[in-house]
């Protein structure tokens, strides 16, 4: 969407902006997704014809488990333990990651998941660690993934702006901005203040434009189902901010694995015809305590299959629990997978 690689979920939302919600067209799209999943399943897991690379193309790294906002369409449990990733765990991950050639398949590392990344008290140090591993990879002629960051931008103050820009690490950055107007933004993103948000984004973009290496920027906007996925109905100040960045993506909300009740999805036709889940096939998520879960929609760590402090990442990737989930998806038995049974995003 922003002239950069899109993950499968982003592609789907990018696509829906162009074809609308035609059931017939989506059946074709979802059929092709199923074909892709089936091919990957046989190549990587059944026949094992591809052994030098994993099926993972993106990894999310969650610096903190908590967030300063209380967004109405988010499933994050704010009562769960508040954990910050240590520098040691981050180093352990990258040492393992770079040492295993089978993860050269990873194209993007996302510095976000459920928690707000800018809340980490040692943000500058954490980014410096990743940059050092990136430099090590360059010296050893090892491919290093793009580094992407997503933030709610409510604490993107002057200090944090300088940290991000001066890190020299990020390949692109995106901001969450839901609603379509100031009033709807503050309603959907509880605790966020529109004027402060605008100030932060404006300042970041101004400083970014002066930067020797400008970071591509984008905005992700959740749109309520009664509105169309275009900007025609949005307020002028909202559209102005969208046009300030390099690209934007308009999305309808999903139900976060069934943990968020969305009225418009209650009577949605079940996708019994669909095979496979591209998120499960291509993702892993590293949590602040070293746990690894299988999907970015698992905001409350219900799909944890291992921990990098006691296991190698490839061993976690190869766990029987994850392989069984893939197998059930291949068989069309999604309802038998506890983590996935109520998810409508697959």
The reported pLDDT for the residue numbered 22 is 56
Model's pTM, two decimal places? 0.92
Distances (CA, A) of 21 to 60, 228, 292, 344: 29, 10, 34, 15
The reported pLDDT for the residue numbered 20 is 53
Give the count of alpha carbons within 13 A of 309, CB side only: 11
The reported pLDDT for the residue numbered 268 is 63
pLDDT, tens digit, for every residue of 166-200? Answer: 999 999 999 999 999 999 999 999 999 999 999 99
Name the pLDDT band for 18 (thresholds 50, 70, 90): low
Alpha-carbon distance of 170 to 144, in angstroms, equals 12
What integer is the mean pLDDT of 237-256?
94
**Residue, of 6 and 65, whose pLDDT is higher:** 65
| CB contact set of 326 (below 8 Å; sequence gap of 6+) | 41, 45, 280, 281
Alpha-carbon distance of 116 to 70, in angstroms, equals 11
What integer is the mean pLDDT of 100-115?
97
Name the pLDDT band for 257 (thresholds 50, 70, 90): confident
pLDDT, tens digit, for every residue of 278-312? Answer: 999 999 999 999 999 999 999 999 999 999 999 99
HEC profile of 307-328 = ECCCCCHHHHHCCHHHHHHHHH
Dihedral of alpha carbons 34, 35, 38, 39, sign: negative
For the ranges 230-244, 256-270, 327-341, the lowest mean pLDDT is seen at 256-270
Which residue is listed with tokens 């993107």?
Answer: 156
* Helix (H), strand (E) counts: the chain: 11, 9
**Residue, of 20 and 30, whose pLDDT is higher:** 30
Alpha-carbon distance of 56 to 221, in angstroms, equals 26
Alpha-carbon distance of 290 to 293, in angstroms, equals 10
């Amino acid at each position: 969407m922003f002239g950069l690689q899109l993950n499968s979920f982003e592609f789907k939302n990018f696509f829906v902006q162009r074809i609308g919600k035609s059931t017939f067209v989506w059946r074709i799209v979802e059929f092709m997704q199923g074909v892709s999943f089936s091919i990957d399943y046989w190549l990587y897991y059944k026949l094992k014809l591809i052994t030098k690379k994993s099926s993972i193309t993106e990894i999310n790294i969650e610096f903190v488990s908590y967030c300063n906002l209380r967004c109405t369409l988010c499933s994050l449990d704010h009562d769960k333990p508040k954990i910050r990733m240590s520098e040691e765990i981050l180093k352990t991950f990258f040492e393992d990651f770079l040492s295993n050639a089978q993860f050269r398949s990873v194209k993007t590392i996302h510095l976000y998941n459920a928690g707000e990344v800018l809340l980490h008290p040692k943000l500058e140090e954490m980014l410096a660690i990743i940059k050092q591993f990136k430099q090590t990879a360059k010296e050893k002629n090892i491919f290093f993934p793009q580094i992407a960051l997503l933030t709610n931008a409510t604490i993107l103050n002057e200090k944090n702006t300088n940290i991000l820009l001066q890190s020299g690490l990020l390949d692109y950055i995106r901001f969450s901005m839901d609603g379509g107007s100031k009033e709807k933004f503050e309603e959907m993103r509880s605790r966020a203040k529109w004027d402060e948000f605008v100030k932060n984004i404006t300042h970041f973009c101004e400083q970014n434009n002066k930067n020797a290496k400008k970071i591509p920027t984008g905005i992700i906007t959740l749109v309520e189902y009664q509105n169309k996925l275009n900007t025609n109905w949005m307020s002028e100040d909202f559209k102005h901010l969208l046009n300030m960045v390099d690209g934007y993506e308009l999305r309808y909300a999903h139900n976060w694995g069934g943990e968020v009740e969305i009225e418009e999805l209650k009577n949605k036709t079940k996708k019994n015809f669909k095979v496979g889940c591209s998120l499960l096939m291509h993702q892993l998520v590293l949590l602040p305590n070293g746990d690894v879960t299988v999907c970015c929609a698992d905001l409350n760590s219900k799909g944890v299959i291992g921990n990098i402090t006691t296991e190698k990442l490839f061993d976690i990737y190869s766990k029987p629990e994850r392989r069984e989930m893939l197998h059930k998806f291949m068989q069309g038995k999604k309802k038998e997978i506890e983590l996935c049974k109520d998810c409508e995003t697959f």
